[in-house]
Amino acid sequence: MTSKTVIVLGGGVGGLSVANDLRRRLNRQHKVVLVDKTGDHVFWPSLLWLQVGLRKPDKITKGLEKLLKKGVELVRGEVDSIDPVAKRVGVGGKTYDADYLVVSLGAQLAPDRIPGLSDAGHNLYSLEGSVAVRNFCLGLDGEAKGTKLVVLVSGMPFKCPAAPYEAAMLMAHYAQNNHPGTGTSVSLYSPEGGPMGVAGPVVSAGVKGMLAQRGVDYYPTHQVEKVDPGTRTLIFEDGSEATYDFLAYVPPHVVPEVVCEAGLAEVGGWIMVDRESMETRYPGVFAIGDNTSIPLEMGLPLPKAGVFAHGQAQAVAKTIAARINGKGEDGVFDGHGQCFVEVGGGRAGFGRGNFYASPVAQVKLHEPSRRWHIAKVLFEKKWMKQWF
C-alpha cells in the first residue's frame, strides 16, 4: 500500500480531534501531520471559569508536542499559503504536500474592525483578556458604588453562542456574592434578536429568563458602531449610547486571510462545505469547525462551537481513513450538538438536540442545576486526559 499523508491545519478542538482519530485509524506507514501556529492547545470552555478566579491559565493550556507520543507529527508555524488543487501548504517558508487536507484554522478575531474597541476593553475569547477580567473581578472594591460591568457582543457570527451570556451571569454572581450591596451592575449588549436564537425560540426564551433571574440587564438588537475609550461610551448603529466602567467584549470574527487567498472562501464569507461529509468543492480537501459556514433551514448558520467541530472531525477522520484503507464507510456529521450554560454558584443549564432538524432546530434546554455543572467539570477532565 502506498504511503499517504494527511495534513491538518489548526490545533484547536477540531484539528486535535481529527489528527488523533486519524492516527488511531491508520497504519503507521501513513503520516498524520498537525500544523499549529503556537504549538499550544487551550481548553477554551474553561476561560469562563478563569474569568472569575476558578481556574488558572496553566491548568487549561497544554503543549501539543505530547501528540508526538501518539505518532502525530507536529509542525509549528503560521500557514502562509494553501493550494487546494495540489493539496500543498506553505508554513514558515517551507512547503508540505498532502494526499488529504483538513482545514481547521478557526475564526480570526478582529477587534480592530470596531473603532476604539481594542483600546476600550478586554477580549473575552483570549487568555490575556480573560486574565484581565479575573483581575478586575477579584479586585472589585467593596466600597465602590454603582460599578458598571458591560459584556458586549460586537458582531455576528461568533463562536460558542452561550459564552457571552455565561460570562455575564458568572460576573453577576461573583459581584453579588462577594460585594453585595455595592450596586455593581452587569449589562449585556448584543446584535442578536435573542440569546442563542439558532437553538429555537424556547431555548432563547429560557436563556433570557436565566439572565433576568441573575440580575443581568440584557439589551438585544444593539449593534455597536464604535467605542470611545476616553469617555467609556459605546455608540450603537441606531444612535443610542451606553457607558461602562469595565468592558469585556466578544470581537468580530472573520475567516483567516490565507483561506480567502486560497480560494476556499470569499472575502467576508466562510468556507462552504457539504454539510454531512464536510468536504469542500476541492476533492480530498475538507474543512471543519469555526472557519466553515453551514446554512440551516431557519435562515441562520450552524453555530460555531467546539462540540460541532468535534463531531465534524470524527466524520472526516472516518471518511479519510476509509479512502486510504480501501474499506469501511464514510463518516457523516448529523448536526447534533450539546452545550452547557454556566449561571454561577456551581450550577449550569444544559441544552442538547438536532440542529439539522426541519424546519427549525429541535433542542431541549434543561434548567440550571448542580448536576449539569458537575457534568461540565467532568467533561473538562475527560477532554484533557483523553487527548494528552
User: Which grid cell sits at 88?
Assistant: 500543498
Q: How confident is the model at residue 311 (pLDDT cuts 50, 70, 90)?
A: very high
The interaxial angle of helices 13-25 and 370-387, nearest 10 deg, is 50
CATH number of 5-107+255-325: 3.50.50.60
Task: Compute the C-alpha angle 207/213/215, nearest 5°.
Answer: 105
Query: Residue 1: pLDDT above 70?
Result: no
- The residue to which cell 467609556 is assigned: 232
pTM: 0.94
Q: 282 is written with which cell numbers?
A: 476541492
Q: What is the CA radius of gyration of the chain?
A: 21
Cβ burial of 117 (10 Å; 0-12, 13-18, 19+) is buried
Distance CA 33, CA 267 (A): 28
The answer to whether the beta carbons of residues 6 and 30 sit under 8 Å apart is yes
Supply the pLDDT for residue 335.
Answer: 97
Cα–Cα distance between 148 and 222 in angstroms, integer?
18
- What the block records as the C-alpha cell of 46 is 474553561
pLDDT at 328: 94
CA distance 126 to 163: 12
Residues 383, 163, 371: CA angle, nearest 5 degrees: 60
DSSP, collapsed to helix, strand or coil, labels residue 173 as: helix
Query: Are 5-107+255-325 and 110-252 in the same CATH fold?
Result: yes
The x, y and z cell numbers of residue 284, run together, are 480530498
Rounded average pLDDT over 314-341: 97
Q: For 131-172, what is each residue's pLDDT tens digit?
A: 999 998 888 765 556 889 999 999 999 999 999 999 999 999
Give the number of other Cβ atoms within 10 Å of residue 318's Cβ.
19
Q: What is the pLDDT of residue 142?
A: 56
Domain edges within the chain: 5-107+255-325, 110-252
Residues 253-309 have pLDDT tens digits of 999 999 999 999 998 899 999 999 999 999 999 999 999 999 998 889 999 999 999
**Residues 6 or more apart from 228 whose CB is under 8 A from it?**
116, 120, 235
| b/e map 16-44, b = 16+ CB within 10 Å | bbbbbbbbebbeeebbbbbbbeebebbbb
Phi, psi (rounded to 5 degrees) for 191: -75, -10
pLDDT at 369 over 80: yes
Answer for the pair 134, 127: CB distance below 8 angstroms, yes or no: no
CATH fold for domain 110-252: FAD/NAD(P)-binding domain (3.50.50)
Kindly tell me the burial class for residue 298, based on how many C-beta atoms sit within 10 Å of its own C-beta (0-12, 13-18, 19 or more): middle
Identify the bridge partners of residue 317 per DSSP, sorted by sequence position.
Answer: none
pLDDT, mean over the chain: 94
342-368 pLDDT, tens digit per residue, is 999 999 999 999 999 999 999 999 999
| pLDDT exceeds 70 at position 113 | yes
